[in-house]
Amino acid sequence: MTIQDVQIIELPKILDKRGNLSIIEEFQHIPFKIARTYWIYDVPGGETRGGHAYKENQECIVALSGSFDVVLDDGKQKQTYSLNRSYYGLYVPRGLWRQMQNFSTNSLALVLSSTTYDPNDYIRDYREFLTSKNR
């Protein structure tokens, strides 16, 4: 996959005087079945999360609160996506190196994944990642 396969998805917003509501439905708003959900929070200032690629897993990342950057790398180019609205999701296809950084105070990142946790799905060494892209 390449950076061109990444998408910012505008999620539905239902607005009324009581507040706002947004939804994410598998195969409707994101192109995969949700197998795992996790969230990242209380990240100390200056820390980076991620630093890996997935062989099979796809993700949708949403900033439910606060802001952070997602840096994606396809082995040829890097692109930074700033997330700071809960009605935008970042679709990350498999095969991209992913890092999350610049977390604001009280940020909350929701991550929806297409696979259950499998340590064998991760590529954690950047050189190995680059080698896998050149096969």
Cα–Cα distance for residue pair 62/82, rounded to 1 Å:
10
What is the phi-psi region of residue 2: left when phi exceeds 0, alpha when psi lies from -120 to 50, beta otherwise? Answer: beta
**If you write DSSP's letter for every residue of 100-120 in order, what string do you get?**
EE-PPTT-EEEEEESS---GG
Its sign, for the CA torsion 40, 54, 71, 29, is negative
Query: Which sequence positions are flagged as catalytic?
Result: 52
Q: If 0-12 CB within 10 Å is exposed, 13-18 middle and 19+ buried, where does residue 83 land?
A: buried
Which pair of structure tokens corresponds to residue 104?
Answer: 């604001």
Q: Decide: helix, strand or coil at residue 32.
A: coil
